[in-house]
């Protein structure tokens, strides 16, 4: 008596069926009754027969209604219906219905995608037939979940909780089963390392291993045990090799896995890094090679790199001495790899300048080649990323980075980029200088003044005085910061060397204010002498 009366499963009654399925969404009792009726009357296979008819005659209206019906049934979120829908007999039909979203201009290609995904099970070395069946079932549930949550209706609290719980418990069951199989992970790693493994097979193995890692690391009780297993298999050297492969999907999956490991086990990766590994070089080279639009992993690689070299994060598990040793290694072995594109193709001629108290040997770099190089947009993007990372190093590695910048005359080379036609690159160069000046470090200030490194910035101000752009604003902010922070050494240098040139800049009072501060300081010094 409590079951819902279902309309006859016929083509002309599809609008009625669609209305029924969507009308019960907000009533828990009616959802349960409808689910029971659908199960008892074998209604889903009947709907899939209608789907075959509609698709064969290209009945678009019927296909759109069947999409609404099938999605509505999935939204009921009942395990008794999932058993039917995820079965071998029904699953492709269910997914087929979900291809005909009325809101999409073209039908989806879920079944074609699933056919490719089915190859996944063929390359994963799983011997237990029950475990293989569970993986297949979970994969189907996960696929359905991705489809129906990509453009959902209004979610109520606990939306799809049954489906989510099913997927989560199944993954835990699969993880437990795979960890019991002592031969499983060694075989996966052997196939990944084997150069004879076909590219598509390696790609599918990487996708599986990535998901395997992602879920394993979220289980606190299993996390350390799983990491010990991976350690025995030398998984970090394997990742290092996979990240360097030409196959973008494999390299991307390896990068994702490394990102997960850094999130949970940063100290382990840092320890590996200290063993003279090529991993850090691989990361740098991927960031500084020509960006590939299909990969899109540059930002992720930058996050990984910053996490690896961030002393604050290291101090959570390492001593100050260990962090200092780490930075020594980084600046001795790897920083030149990061700066190589910035310093490429520039001639060197060393000059000593100084005033007796501070003396620096500067390598004079010819800027012509560098300016020519950055006419290329992709090169400009790479250099902008490098400058962002170098600014990070200035802030986090104050001692080591200061030595490196002065030794390589890095700021002079960077400021050449202010003349780039790519304004975002010019801004990055200026931001690098702003980061250095923001430290208010005496040695940096002497390095800047003795090298006359304000000249390109002043020239940028003069070139942009009649324009309204970000470079002009950023340049003025730099001078305003010096004024507000009352960095007297730099104020004196700017006024004494550029006051006359900057008199033509009338749109701001900053330079006049710098001159006033300079004169006030001179008056104070005279009073002291008197």
List the domain boundaries for the chain: 1-171, 182-290, 310-347+368-451, 455-529
Burial of 259 (0-12, 13-18, 19+ CB in 10 A): middle
Q: Is pLDDT above 70 for 151?
A: no
Residue 346 banded pLDDT, cuts 50, 70, 90: very low
Range from 86-100, 168-182, 422-436, 470-484 carrying the lowest mean pLDDT: 168-182
Q: Over the chain, what is the mean pLDDT?
A: 83
Q: State the pLDDT at residue 81.
A: 92
Tens of pLDDT, residue by residue over 347-373, are 344 444 455 445 454 444 444 444 444
Contacts of 87 (CB under 8 A, 6+ apart): none
More reliable by pLDDT, 436 or 124: 436
Residue 406 banded pLDDT, cuts 50, 70, 90: very high
Predicted TM-score (pTM) of the model is: 0.72
Give alpha helix (H) positions in 309-438.
311-314, 320-333, 335-343, 368-373, 377-396, 398-408, 410-415, 423-438
Tokens of 363: 């390598």
- Beta strands, E only, 141-235: none
φ and ψ of 183, to 5 deg: -90, -10
282, 244 in Cβ contact below 8 A?
Answer: yes
Q: State the pLDDT at residue 348.
A: 45
Give the 3-state secondary structure of 382-406. Answer: HHHHHHHHHHHHHHHCHHHHHHHHH
Tokens of 337: 């790899």
Closest alpha carbon to 206 in 177, 249, 235, 174: 249
Q: State the pLDDT at residue 365.
A: 44
329, 337 in Cβ contact below 8 A?
Answer: no
CA distances from 382 to 299, 385, 404, 414 (A): 11, 5, 20, 13
């Amino acid at each position: 008596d409590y079951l819902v009366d279902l309309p006859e499963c016929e083509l002309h009654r599809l609008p009625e069926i669609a209305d029924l399925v969507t009308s019960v969404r907000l009533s828990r009792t009616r959802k349960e009754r409808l689910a029971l009726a659908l199960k008892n009357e074998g209604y889903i296979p009947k709907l899939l027969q209608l789907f075959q008819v509609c698709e064969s005659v290209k009945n678009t209206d019927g296909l759109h209604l069947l999409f609404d019906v099938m999605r509505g049934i999935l939204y009921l979120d009942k395990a008794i219906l999932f058993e039917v829908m995820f079965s071998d007999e029904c699953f492709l039909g269910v997914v087929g219905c979900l291809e005909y979203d009325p809101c999409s201009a073209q039908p989806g290609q879920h079944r074609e995608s699933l056919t490719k995904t089915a190859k996944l099970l063929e390359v994963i070395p799983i011997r237990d037939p029950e475990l293989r069946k569970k993986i297949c079932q979970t994969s189907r549930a996960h696929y359905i979940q991705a489809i129906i949550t990509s453009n959902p209706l209004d979610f109520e609290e606990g939306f799809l909780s049954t489906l989510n719980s099913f997927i989560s418990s199944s993954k835990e069951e699969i993880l437990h089963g795979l960890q019991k199989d002592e031969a499983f992970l060694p075989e996966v790693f052997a196939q990944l390392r084997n150069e004879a493994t076909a590219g598509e097979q390696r790609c599918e193995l990487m996708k599986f291993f990535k998901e395997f890692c992602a879920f394993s690391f979220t289980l606190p009780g299993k996390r350390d045990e799983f990491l010990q297993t991976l350690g025995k298999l030398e998984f970090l050297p394997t990742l290092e090799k996979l990240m360097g492969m030409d196959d973008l999907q494999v390299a991307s999956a390896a990068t994702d896995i490394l990102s997960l490991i850094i999130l949970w086990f940063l100290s382990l990766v840092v320890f590996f890094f200290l063993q003279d590994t090529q991993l850090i070089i691989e990361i740098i080279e991927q960031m500084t090679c020509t960006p590939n639009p299909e990969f899109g992993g540059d930002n992720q690689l930058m996050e990984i790199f910053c996490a690896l070299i961030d002393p604050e994060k290291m101090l959570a598990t390492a001593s100050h001495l260990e962090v200092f040793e780490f930075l020594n290694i980084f600046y001795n072995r790897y920083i030149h790899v990061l700066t190589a594109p910035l310093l490429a193709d520039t001639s060197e001629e060393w000059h000593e300048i100084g005033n007796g108290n501070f003396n620096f040997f500067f390598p004079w770099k010819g800027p012509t080649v560098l300016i020519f190089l950055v006419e290329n947009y992709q090169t400009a993007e790479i250099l902008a990323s490098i400058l962002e990372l170098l600014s990070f190093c200035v802030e986090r590695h104050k001692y080591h980075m200061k030595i490196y910048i002065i030794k390589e005359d890095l700021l002079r080379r960077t400021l050449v980029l202010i003349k780039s036609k790519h304004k975002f690159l010019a801004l990055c160069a200026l931001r690098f200088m702003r980061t250095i000046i923001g430290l208010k470090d005496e040695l940096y200030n002497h390095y800047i003044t003795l090298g006359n490194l304000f000249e390109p910035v002043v020239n940028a101000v003069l070139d942009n005085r009649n324009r309204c752009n970000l470079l002009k604003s950023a340049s003025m902010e730099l001078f305003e910061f010096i004024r507000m922070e009352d960095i007297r050494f730099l104020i004196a240098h700017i006024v004494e060397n550029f006051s006359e040139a900057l008199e033509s800049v009338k749109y701001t009072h900053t330079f006049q204010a710098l001159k006033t501060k300079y004169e006030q300081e001179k008056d104070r010094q005279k009073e002291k002498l008197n």
